[in-house]
Structure 1
């Protein structure tokens, strides 16, 4: 018992700062949509929601490119490799990243309406959504540099500066976004587009402040490219560091796309409601994800320390930490769904759709405790590919077919909510069965046996 109490303490100690940092990042995005929902209305929220899967895909590319660029910069700063080879990596990584930024910017700007049409965006918000997506495309460079600076701040281990970057962005969005939406003093009234412009300005200010900090305290970190070149071998050697974050965020974009395609035909109110409730899903999952990351870290320590017997207590400890939070959140969403939705938007028709979702999906939230405790163990054992595979299967095999069937048999958009619930449950149960099977130990036990063999 005392050992399990100690394990729970370790989980909480690791999870708490992770939760705080993630919460601050999320608050920055939530402020944006709260202002849009209350100051402009459901049509603007629907336009943002219709563009959201494309923005998520853009974020995946920007984040992956930023990781690709930051790796050789950090290696050169720490002098882990020879200068000539490091300069070649710098040249290739910057060339690839600049080309990616240009291609995404031009491609999304020109194809914005076509992409939104493929996703079935409601006609009532098509013009607004197209303009919003084109502005987001033009700001893709800002997105890339924001990810690059936060990646470097994380790599050099300076948490305070990273928090400062997030705090500046949050405070800026809190103040500037409403001024550009409604027009205040010297700020023009630009509506939804003003919200985007304000966010870009805030990101640029935060970027230059953080850049100045890095230049002053970490001289030699920013190694300039000496030529523009692409080398396949060098590029392939750098890609592994960027692929995990790219795949993870691409999966989020795919998951949202798999649902928005079924939601859009039911009109802009359904699109707006789904965007709001998807943000609520992220908030609900936040504590459990922080615990999952903590479990992942501790599992790696147990594996490297050859203390496999401690992982069972780690799993139980993760569940005991997760369950109270997920239960209270699920209960709140079931009992007070209208109050939660109205934090973001007050349009009655949108609120009613959101309330139906929360009442249905609150049961699925209870499975977050099990899902993320299992995934923490599996990821810590080096089998993160399995969790990604399970997520992909739950989307393609469960969520999409169930949504397609239920929307055609008279359940309308409510059928999509039941499909999301089904995928949550199947994903959690699948991860639990894999954990119970012990297959996540494969390779670990073989490695230990190999090391134990006499030479």
Structure 2
């Protein structure tokens, strides 16, 4: 069992670490160009973020089917699911491509009224919008490959893709190795090329290894489309509601002052590395839970889930402790005033307290409830706890009580506490286990067996 978990968890963690590091290096490159260029890239990233958000939600719903079909080794089911994941992802990317390619000025105008950024960002955004189709393929295949325990392939693709992106960005920025020196546009071209390279690599490796996937729609019928959307829609809406909530939190911190916002941004950088370590376990948990449910091994799914809740919480705490040590080592190098340092340090200790709770919830929502087929419940509890508890309490603390950053940040954990209590009792019951792979004939046969046992 441990081997199966690590087979997914380690590659996913490495993949996230590489992605974060690549983004950090590109940020350094951009900082050498100027504020306008940084702003243009930041706005373009908002478009990419929205695309990734919808794609992640949709494909997380698809992974429910992939993992459960993988558990019963139903390759036809995996192929049928993969087809829908690929084409619905491409449709989402097409919608955002139309918005940002044909109406770039209007999109940029949502975020800024600066004429230099508006005019300078049009071509940049149009180039980046082409990469959305690469993102659609990449996220679909990454999810499929993780769901059938081939997570090593996406990890490899990210290693090579990130190296390629950094090399091309540097070459275009500096005009080396025969490349033209084209500044900011070089970042856009490098990003777009890398976003297509990654899925092409994944598709080639998947084909060589005879991974069960297909681009053919012949396997798909209307009934399955309806069933797919029944689970994919809640996971997609879950991600949208969550991201909107996080945006509101960002606005709250931004309105609290420049020092608070600066401290919050530094805090986020450290937090990202905590979730890099725990997210791999979350994905591994979802794959294993899906396998158990797909094989109708419901007792094993139940025992494994409760065990992983405790393990992921412990890893979350341990990761936060390590990050705290790194924080204190780096703190003297931060060029921020003493008041900001005090606020930041207090918020970091709150992060340490909240890390095991957030890790618990990540494992429960994404790793267990969604994988077990309980996507609707996961959507409702995560959305309602954030919008009815977390956000109102945080707004009250920030603008009525006028609390400092550490205490306001602590209030953002209120919905996490409520959510942890509810999902614990949900997982303790058996209501969350829903085998999405069972056909009507199999369900009737299973019911007959149960009735026979009761008669005996």
- TM norm structure 1: 0.69
Give the structure 1 partner of residue 392 of structure 2: 401
2:131 paired residue among 129, 139, 142: 139
CA distance in 2, matches of 1:285, 1:360: 15
2:154 paired residue among 140, 156, 162: 162
Give the structure 1 partner of residue 354 of structure 2: 364
> How far is the alpha carbon of 1:243 from its aligned partner?
3.9
In structure 2, do the counterparts of structure 1 residues 16 and 273 end up closer, same or farther at CA, with 3 Å as the change threshold? farther
Q: CA RMSD in A?
A: 5.2
In structure 2, do the counterparts of structure 1 residues 155 and 450 end up closer, same or farther at CA, with 3 Å as the change threshold? same
- 2:17 corresponds to 1:27: yes
* Per-residue Cα deviation, 1:354-382 (whole angstroms, up to 9, x for no partner): 65542332211132354356555545654
Contact 1:299/1:311 (8 A) holds in 2: no
CA distance in 2, matches of 1:361, 1:129: 38
* Per-residue Cα deviation, 1:167-218 (whole angstroms, up to 9, x for no partner): 2113223433444455545445556653343222223334444444456665
1:284 paired residue among 270, 274, 283: 274
CA distance in 1, matches of 2:256, 2:55: 32
- 2:48 corresponds to 1:55: yes
In structure 2, do the counterparts of structure 1 residues 267 and 47 end up closer, same or farther at CA, with 3 Å as the change threshold? farther
Q: Secondary structure at the match of 1:304?
A: coil
- 2:8 corresponds to 1:18: yes
> How far is the alpha carbon of 1:391 from its aligned partner?
1.5
Give the structure 2 partner of residue 200 of structure 1: 192
Contact 1:326/1:369 (8 A) holds in 2: yes
CA distance in 2, matches of 1:98, 1:251: 22
> How far is the alpha carbon of 1:442 from its aligned partner?
8.6
Give the structure 1 partner of residue 439 of structure 2: none
- 2:421 corresponds to 1:421: no
> How far is the alpha carbon of 1:330 from its aligned partner?
2.5
In structure 2, do the counterparts of structure 1 residues 49 and 400 end up closer, same or farther at CA, with 3 Å as the change threshold? farther
Unmatched segments (≥5 aa) in structure 1: 1-9
- 2:292 corresponds to 1:301: yes
Give the structure 2 partner of residue 6 of structure 1: none
CA distance in 2, matches of 1:102, 1:66: 16
- 2:377 corresponds to 1:386: yes
In structure 2, do the counterparts of structure 1 residues 371 and 153 end up closer, same or farther at CA, with 3 Å as the change threshold? closer
Unmatched segments (≥5 aa) in structure 2: 436-445
The residue correspondences of 1:20-99 to structure 2 (distance < 5 A) are 20-41=10-31, 54-62=47-55, 80=76, 99=91
Contact 1:47/1:125 (8 A) holds in 2: no
Contact 1:378/1:435 (8 A) holds in 2: yes
Give the structure 2 partner of residue 104 of structure 1: 96
In structure 2, do the counterparts of structure 1 residues 359 and 240 end up closer, same or farther at CA, with 3 Å as the change threshold? same
Contact 2:43/2:108 (8 A) holds in 1: yes
CA distance in 2, matches of 1:291, 1:94: 25
- 2:419 corresponds to 1:430: no
Aligned length: 426
CA distance in 2, matches of 1:368, 1:264: 23
* Per-residue Cα deviation, 1:417-439 (whole angstroms, up to 9, x for no partner): 33433333333233235445x37
CA distance in 1, matches of 2:283, 2:62: 25
CA distance in 1, matches of 2:205, 2:10: 22
- TM norm structure 2: 0.69
* Per-residue Cα deviation, 1:388-420 (whole angstroms, up to 9, x for no partner): 322212321133223322332434766653343
Contact 1:53/1:257 (8 A) holds in 2: no
> How far is the alpha carbon of 1:165 from its aligned partner?
1.8
1:326 paired residue among 316, 328, 332: 316
CA distance in 1, matches of 2:384, 2:39: 28
Give the structure 1 partner of residue 454 of structure 2: 453
Contact 1:64/1:242 (8 A) holds in 2: yes
CA distance in 1, matches of 2:175, 2:100: 28
- 2:336 corresponds to 1:348: yes
In structure 2, do the counterparts of structure 1 residues 194 and 318 end up closer, same or farther at CA, with 3 Å as the change threshold? same
